[in-house]
């Protein structure tokens, strides 16, 4: 998914084009969510590819785990991550916020 497809571009006073800030939805808990304990080598994009079939959806996992400190694509080994299972609602909320 190209999450920047619908993000409006703006120009500053020097004519430099930039993207308007991206807004991410809050992702409510669901009984259908999946929980995993991370192991060495896990990355958010790999987890997104495993559970969603699309590595570009890594941001959903990141947004669903706001208490995690993701300084990179690598979660802390041994931490529990919530993987939202109903991504169609998340994507619809994302698109509504950024259209």
User: In CATH, what number does 24-97 get?
Assistant: 3.10.350
Apex 68 CA angle, 52 and 97, nearest 5: 60
User: Average pLDDT of the chain?
Assistant: 87
For the chain, which residues make up each domain, given as ranges?
24-97
Q: pLDDT band for position 23 (50/70/90)?
A: confident
Q: Among residues of the chain, what percentage have pLDDT more than 90?
A: 62
- Nearest Cα residue to 60 out of 41, 84, 79: 84
| pLDDT tens digits, 38-97 | 999 999 999 999 999 999 999 999 999 988 876 678 998 999 999 999 999 999 999 898
pTM above 0.75, yes or no: yes
Rounded Cα gap, residues 50 and 92, in angstroms: 21
């Amino acid at each position: 998914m190209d999450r920047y497809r619908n993000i409006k571009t703006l120009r500053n006073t020097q004519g430099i084009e930039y993207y308007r800030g991206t807004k991410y939805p809050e992702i409510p808990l669901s009984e259908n969510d999946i929980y995993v304990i991370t192991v060495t080598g896990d990355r958010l994009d790999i987890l997104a590819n495993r559970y969603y079939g699309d590595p570009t959806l890594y941001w959903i996992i990141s947004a669903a785990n706001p208490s995690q400190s993701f300084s990179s694509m690598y979660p802390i080994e041994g931490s529990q991550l919530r993987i939202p299972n109903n991504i169609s609602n998340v994507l619809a909320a994302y698109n509504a916020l950024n259209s």
